[in-house]
Amino acid sequence: MLPVARGKRRSDILRGNVMAALFFEPSTRTRLSFSSAMMRLGGGVIGFAQPEGTSLSKGETLSDTIRMAQAYADIIVIRHPQEGAARLASDIASVPVINAGDGAGQHPTQTLMDLFTIQQEKGRIEGEEVALVGDLKYGRTVHSLAYALALFGSPITFIAPPQLQMPPSIVEEIEGMGVRCAQATSIKEVISGLDVLYVTRIQRERFPDPTEYQKVVGSYRIDKKALEGAKADLIVLHPLPRVDEISPEIDEMPHAAYFRQAFNGMPVRMTLLALVLGAIK
């Protein structure tokens, strides 16, 4: 899929297929890369980027919206602020449903591109020492990634302010899979042993109380000083968007892999669409 994603080769393996992209929450990367992935493979895209222009604003339910989308499309990609919304959609729809992020729940396609990026950059996933940094409570990308890393047996360190640590239920499940987990409050404590530093944004929109957000905003900032003592081949990942948790001075360093990671959304989502729609095995 890589040469097709880069526009170097043409493919029409999904010609005649339509994807409904239902985005009830803002998105740049996920919506655009899914749409481009579908079009690069010859398929079509319908959908919306915010619910205001749809009949939801007249009071139509999510269930009825899903029923309509399945009537018009072969596959549904949904992002929604409520945890479990994608699962509900998959219970209702007779066409495949892909979760493009459900509240503070999961973001599984981000995880596929994170894993692909680690494999591409480091040559392997198994055994790589990974630290997840930032908002581990509300950050859905790190919930999905933690489960996936556990399947590869990669040791994980969770670095967060105490009130934004990884939910204990997820930690227990991962430890139950036999993976070594640790918690830390500072990057300095662990930087020298890391292969992958995965940074996340504090999810302001998910805080019930804005004063609680103010207490933790700016807790972690990755700059050249924060990376002192890191391995030469450490990679820094971020699902993006970033606010101020990675200084632009890192962008030009060999450690910075987050823009390549964002590009990888294309080939990974092309592959996923082609698999789910039966165009490849």
Q: How far is the CB of 189 from ligand CP (least distance, A)?
A: 27
Of residues 96 and 101, the one with the C-beta less far from ligand CP: 101
CB of 241 vs ligand CP, minimal distance in Å: 6
Q: Which residues contact 125 (CB under 8 A, 6 or more apart)?
A: 115, 118, 119, 149, 152, 154
Q: Return the number of the residue (139 or 155) whose C-beta is nearest ligand CP.
A: 139
Q: Which of 130, 127, 102, 137 is nearest to 114 (CA)?
A: 130
Q: Please, are residues 188 and 221 in contact by the beta-carbon 8 Å criterion?
A: no
Can you list the alpha helix ranges (DSSP code H) found in 177-225?
Answer: 210-216
Q: Alpha carbon of 269 to those of 7, 25, 29, 197: distances in Å?
A: 15, 19, 11, 23
Residue 72 Cβ, how far from ligand CP at the closest point, in Å? 23
Cβ 182 to ligand CP shortest distance, Å = 25
**In this complex, which beta carbon is closest to ligand CP, that of residue 29 or of residue 122?**
29
Q: How far is the CB of 201 from ligand CP (least distance, A)?
A: 9
Closest approach of ligand CP to the CB of residue 38, in Å? 15
Smallest gap from Cβ 109 to ligand CP, in A, equals: 9
What region, left, alpha or beta, does residue 217 occupy, with left being phi > 0 and alpha being psi -120 to 50 degrees?
beta
Spacing of C-alpha 183 from chain mean position: 22
SS3 196: strand
Nearer to ligand CP, 30 or 157 (CB): 30
Cβ closest to ligand CP, residue 100 vs residue 181:
100
Spatial separation of the C-alpha atoms in residues 8 and 77, rounded to whole Å? 26
Binding region for ligand CP (CB under 6 A):
27-30, 101, 110, 239-241
Q: Which of 106, 157 has the CB closer to ligand CP?
A: 106
- Residue 38's nearest CA partner among 260, 263, 266, 280 is 266
Q: What is the CA radius of gyration of the chain?
A: 19
- Please say which residue, 86 or 279, places its beta carbon nearer to ligand CP: 86
Q: Which two tokens stand for residue 39?
A: 């079009």
